[in-house]
Amino acid sequence: MDSIVEMNSRILSNPESRHVSIYICLSLFVIFFQNPSVFASESNGWKVDWTIETIVQYRYFTNTNDSNSAKNGASIENQIFIDQQYSGQQQFPILNQRLGFSTSDTSGDQIVTGDFFFHYDHYDENNRYVDIRELDWLYSFDDYQVRAGVGQVSWGVNEIFRTVDTINQIDTQAWPSRTKLGQPLISVAGYLKDDLLEAYILLDHRKRRYSGINGRLRYPILIDEDPIYERGATGKVDFALRWQFSLWSADVALSHFYGVSRDPYFTFNFDFDHPRLVPVYQKINQSSIELTRDFDGWLTKLEAKYEIGGLQHYFSYAGGVEVSFPEVMGSDIDTTVIFEAIYDSRDEANNNIFNRDVALAFRLQFNDSYESSLLVAGVQDYEYSERLLLVHWRSNPGQHWRFDAIINIFHSSENALDRTAFDNAWDDAFSNISSGNIPLPISLVNNIYASISEVTLSRRDFENLVTFVNSLQQPGGYKDSYADTVPGVLFELMRITDGSQKVNLIDEEDYFAISVSYLF
């Protein structure tokens, strides 16, 4: 098990190991493609089924930062941010390769599954990687199961707002789907009458991947590749328990997770020559409940959790209803309507995209020879004017082919910051400092803080900002370059930490993506 953990860690963190792993993956692909009998054979009672899937994707972003500067109300003078923004970054070809296999003994008591994934972004080196999504062994006996390896675990009942799903790290490049990275684990599950009990030992932590300077679906400020871990007493080992049962015609699941959070918070490094957001992963306790019940075809759902140990103690709950209408108006089209809402008690800014939102989705299954389907989903923030529209068309034109078309449309709130007042406050402060007028007059310091009064800045970032302003007034604390860099960088920081600007955590621009898949 240790070797699996170490191998998966090296694949994602070490560039040289990553390139070697990509080479190995491609080599395996060639071997399997040229000699499929390797996986179709039976040996010692074990039969292996295998799949190979090649996915070519093209993403197009509607606007570049050349026009976005005007939309934000001011041009960005900082050369670093001119380089980091999205100018000229509109077209992105991506190649994905999946290799999967499944094998079992003749009795079916032992099953081994594997799912290897290769992602290649033509422009972004940060998004060229190989991931072991699954490589686990499952042994069943009587009413029990033992599982070991790298696996996938899904918690939660909602379609859109998944609040309790915490075992696996998500793959941010798979947005808007919740595709996950593999998690090294050992688990034991067993039935106690009709109840299912599960226990997990989770080995090490998978950090979240973020796009680099040449990629899209990224924050305006780049993410540091070296996160901070606060692992607590158990170090690199996490634990989880789950109990599933039925009560009053409802399906219920109670779960508890103790380990490093899969969802980091960010702290700004206040290095204005190389500005970065540093991910911080903390040890948390998360208790959660899931409920589903069918009321004459109306499926009601609820997820709720309470989390302590992180930056903020908070609770979150999400739920809704799902109803299906077969053969609408006498056609072959089956339609499913989904309504969900979510509430997150955190008042301070956090990097959770959905925290106080409602969603309405329509899923159409056409039941034609191409197995065509259409998903249209809209999400609306009920505190601010932010909204998101997703359209996803899927069709299988042939036995081996699959076609996907996705459109993402973002609508952000108007910027809460007055850019002119923000820049003027900093210009006045730097002019006084460069003239030797320190400490700064209280009125100038107050102007700086007043310029961000409409932003839901977190307490942590505000305290760091106060420390920075104080350091400027100390000997050697001011650099001549600050006049050009600080206002632009801090303006971006305010935007992405503002609770009314959450879509900036995905990307600033609308885009569509076309994927063509071939299944060997």
Are residues 511 and 431 located together in one domain of the fold?
no
> 379 with 423, same domain?
no
The verdict on 446 and 388 lying in the same domain is: no
In angstroms, the CA 222 to CA 84 distance is 8
**Can you give the residue range of the structural domain that contains 15?**
1-417+498-519
Instruction: Name the residue among 59, 62, 72 with its Cα closest to residue 119.
Output: 59
The whole-number pLDDT of residue 82 equals: 43
Here the CATH number for the domain that contains residue 172 is 2.40.160
pLDDT for position 42: 59
Residues 127 and 223 both lie in one domain: yes
For residues 308 and 443, membership in a common domain is answered with: no
Q: Say if residue 159 is in the same domain as residue 286.
A: yes
How far, in Å, CA of 302 to CA of 341, rounded?
A: 10
What is the C-alpha to C-alpha distance for residues 354 and 342, in angstroms, rounded to an integer?
A: 7
* Residues 423 and 312 reside in one and the same domain: no
Strand, helix or coil for residue 269:
coil
Let me know whether 87 and 97 are in one domain.
Answer: yes
pLDDT at 198: 98
pLDDT score, position 348: 67
**pLDDT per position in the chain (520 positions), as tens?**
444 444 444 444 444 444 445 545 554 544 444 444 444 555 566 788 889 999 999 999 886 544 343 334 333 444 444 444 666 678 889 999 999 999 988 777 899 999 999 999 988 888 899 999 999 999 999 899 999 999 999 999 999 999 999 999 998 887 777 889 999 999 999 999 899 999 999 998 899 888 888 888 888 888 998 999 988 778 889 999 999 999 999 999 999 999 999 988 888 888 888 899 899 999 999 999 999 999 999 999 999 999 998 778 999 999 999 999 998 888 899 999 999 999 999 876 566 788 889 999 999 999 999 999 999 999 998 888 888 999 999 999 988 999 999 999 888 777 767 778 888 888 888 888 888 888 888 888 888 888 777 776 777 778 888 898 888 888 888 888 888 888 888 888 877 777 666 776 676 678 899 999 999 8
Give how many domains the chain has, as a whole number. 2
Rounded to whole angstroms, the Cα distance separating 322 from 380 reads 18
**Residues 218 and 295 placed together within one structural domain of the fold:** yes
Distance CA(169)–CA(154), nearest Å, equals 11
Query: What values do phi and psi take at 132, rounded to 5?
Result: -90, 100
* Same domain as 505, residue 470: no
484 lies in the same domain as 511 = no
Own/partner pairs, 433-440, CB within 8 angstroms, 24+ separation: 433/472, 433/473, 433/478, 434/478, 434/480, 434/483, 438/473, 439/473, 440/472, 440/473
Contacts of 28 (CB under 8 A, 6+ apart): 99, 116
Q: Are residues 339 and 413 part of one domain?
A: yes
Rg (CA), the chain: 25
